[in-house]
Amino acid sequence: MKRLLILAAALFLLANPVLAAESVQDLPMPRPLSQPIAGLAEKMKTLAAKPRTPENALALGIMQALSKQYAEAGQTLAPVKQSLPSMAGWAGLFLGYAKFRAGDYRGAFAEFDAIDPAEPAIGPEALLLSAYCLDGLGSPQALERYQRFLALGEHPIRPAALWRGAATAATAGDYTTAQSLLRELYLTGPWTASAEKAEPLARELFRAGRISYSLDSPDALRERIEVLLDKSQTAKAQALIDQYSRTPGADQARALYLKGKALYSKRDTQAAIQHFEDAARLSKEPVLTAWSIYHQARAYWRFSGPEDAARMEELLSESLRRAQTLPNGADLTEAARRLLLLTRIERGRFQDALPMATALASPGSVPTEAREQAAWLSGLLRFALSDFSGAEADLAAFLASFPNSDYAPGAHYWSARAKEAAGDPARAVAGLRTLLERWPNGYYGMLAANRLAAMKGTATAPAASAPVADAIQPGLDTNTPAIPLEAMPVSPKTANPCQAVNALSAPDEANPSLERAAMLQAGLLPELAERELAALNAKMPKDPAVAMRYARLATELGNHINAVRATSRAFWGCLARGSRQELQPLRDIVYPNRFQDLILRNLAGTSVDANIIRGLIRQESFFEPEAVSGAGAVGLMQVLPSTARTLAEKLGERGFKAESLKDPAVNVRYGVRYFLERYEEYGGNLALTLASYNAGRVKIGVWREFLGGLDQELFVEFIPYTETRDYVKRILGNQAMYALLY
């Protein structure tokens, strides 16, 4: 029976050439085989001139394979597997690759199959490549290999395995599996090239009645659109929205709603508002109507006029009213209440905002992000309204409910500020010291240290127990490391939290990987050495020796985010509490200080602290001159070409070219000039200046009008955009960290 099914499937595929298998030679290669190697041609010449040791032969063979010299690579690498057993995996991977590219799928399969899939650096890739080989041979066993690879979890080339697995299953007549894999592909990666390649297969299988999943059904289109919008694949989403709106049976109100979300993502806000309004008017589905009204209100939040704010509040109130009539309206109710709270804070309506924060933070509610934020804001609102005892009580309740919250250090800080404002400096100092014991190097540690210094002269304030200079050590920003330092529960201060930085003796089980990495690096292949160390670091994230080896190499290769993440996982105790001297081994990895002459030269004659520009560059580009953002901002200070062109005209400079922004001298000159213009525009208010970089002038105009009278610390807390608020805190923290380290 099974043979008959396979024969029927084969005849079906023969009758439909659109389903013919894609050549496995065109399938995407995993990272070790597709990773660019800097200066490859010159390195090959260098290696060719060296004695042919097994180590040099390994490196040369890998480079030959990457240079498409497949026959030569095979001859070079074959002996290495026997002569250098510790590197047999790497040699086998590239030997198999050379055979694969030469069309010898059986020989390639034997090489890939010999590699343990559990080998962290190359095992999953070898398993996928073995499936490619069986696929190229037309073997039904390819499906089992693809499924084993998929069972390993997330991987950059997972969509290719889903596509080829589905094709292999269809060839074998296993249409149930084919449908399952195709559906997963379109629910998880509809923007990928593999999804595009799989479309003819999915459509033909549905047309022939082999599967029930139709790519072109209204439900499938809607699912794909929602995934695309969630992944910011707006252009692809818009094309499908147009198709959805033309599809019989599609909900036209939903099409308008989805188009509104796409337009909102493209910042075509006025058009988005109109689409949401039309969706709410046409919809016969109460849930869609209520959410359309909510998103219409959310779009109005981008505008600054009082009529916009009034319209937004009216819409939010309406969406909230509708949400409370829905059987599953809890999510919308919370979203509307949270946005109402933030808009009232944004407009300085603290008295109106406080009861909303209290209600949203109700202890009877299920713990959610919105409830946590509301509980935190209720304490700050009471402080802003000069209800200092109420602020202290609310912040204490917040800490009892959310002890490990990201806001916890801030709750300690503002509780101390409330004690000080209430006329109890002794308790305030005690609270600040408690904060410094747990988070001395965070943003709030900086604020606490500065506050202690300011209170030192008061009659009732005890002297600080440690020099303030040692306390002003803001930690890593929460955007860069994998583990936010501010949110970590920290044990009492140890005698030497940085001892592990210099204790670089790795455990014995790490030695094989470290030796392989060293051999690859000595063979002029640092990119592959980094992969070996990255896999080891993922296995032993808290081992200091492994983390330091990986972080240093990643830094050399310009992979700064990975380096900082590895460092923060292994050395968070030191980063949280270390002194200037103790932090020296980590300094260049976590807080590099490049181009300081350019920064100082362009700030000459101003009162701006050079450390704020260093902190800004670290946040924007991590000192990478050729960094380019998705919005088109370029270089160290992420300057938009249009902004630089305007500055060039002001300076009387002709012939500006956007490419010149990758030159550090040009970028810092324009970037500092732009910063100084903003700084002067906002009266030397650093928080406003930094917030304007992230949120733009329209929003800053509103915040300046209604929140500008607050002290800078409280203004930062009340910035309603989470991204902007965190951005400002990170750069201010960076500024103080550079002051400490350099």
Sign of the Cα torsion 313, 316, 322, 325 reads: negative
Burial of 423 (0-12, 13-18, 19+ CB in 10 A): exposed
Q: Cβ distance 699 to 721 under 8 Å?
A: yes
Q: Please state, in angstroms and rounded to a whole number, the distance separating the CA atoms of residues 544 and 585.
A: 12
User: What DSSP string runs through 619-666?
Assistant: HHTTT-TT-B-TT--BTTTTB-HHHHHHHHHHTT-----GGGGGSHHH
Q: Cβ distance 554 to 560 under 8 Å?
A: yes
Q: Please state, in angstroms and rounded to a whole number, the distance separating the CA atoms of residues 135 and 311.
A: 59
Q: Alpha helices of 102-217 — where are they, by DSSP H? A: 105-113, 123-136, 141-151, 158-171, 175-188, 193-207
Long-range contacts of 398-402 (CB under 8 A, 24+ apart): 398/361, 401/363, 401/367, 401/372, 401/375, 402/367, 402/372, 402/375, 402/376
Q: Please state, in angstroms and rounded to a whole number, the distance separating the CA atoms of residues 660 and 666.
A: 7
Q: Cβ distance 122 to 32 under 8 Å?
A: yes
Place of tokens 């030796």: 515
Q: Cβ distance 192 to 176 under 8 Å?
A: no
Place of tokens 């909510």: 294
- Which residue type sits at 352? D
DSSP state of 248: T
537 — alpha (psi -120 to 50), left (phi > 0) or beta? alpha
491 C-beta neighbours (distance < 10 Å), count: 10
Contacting residues for 318 by C-beta, under 8 A, at least 6 apart: 293
Q: Please state, in angstroms and rounded to a whole number, the distance separating the CA atoms of residues 387 and 422.
A: 9
Report the DSSP beta bridge partners of residue 628.
634
Task: Provide the Cα torsion 437, 438, 440, 446; round to 10°.
Answer: -110
Q: Please state, in angstroms and rounded to a whole number, the distance separating the CA atoms of residues 253 and 290.
A: 12
- Which residue type sits at 204? E
CA 323 to chain centre: 32
Alpha carbon separation from 609 to 6, 598, 613, 693, 734 (Å, rounded): 73, 14, 7, 17, 12
Q: Cβ distance 275 to 292 under 8 Å?
A: no
Give the angle subtended at the CA of 251 by the CAs of 246 and 252, to the nearest 5°: 65
Q: Alpha helices of 402-488 — where are they, by DSSP H? A: 408-421, 425-438, 443-455, 468-471
Q: Among 346, 620, 659, 681, which one carries the catalytic annotation?
A: 620
Report the DSSP beta bridge partners of residue 111.
none
User: What DSSP string runs through 198-231?
Assistant: HHHHHHHHHHTTS-S--TTSHHHHHHHHHHHHHT
| Catalytic (active site) residue 620 | yes
Q: Please state, in angstroms and rounded to a whole number, the distance separating the CA atoms of residues 26 and 401.
A: 55
Residue 42 token pair: 């010159």
Residues annotated as catalytic are: 620
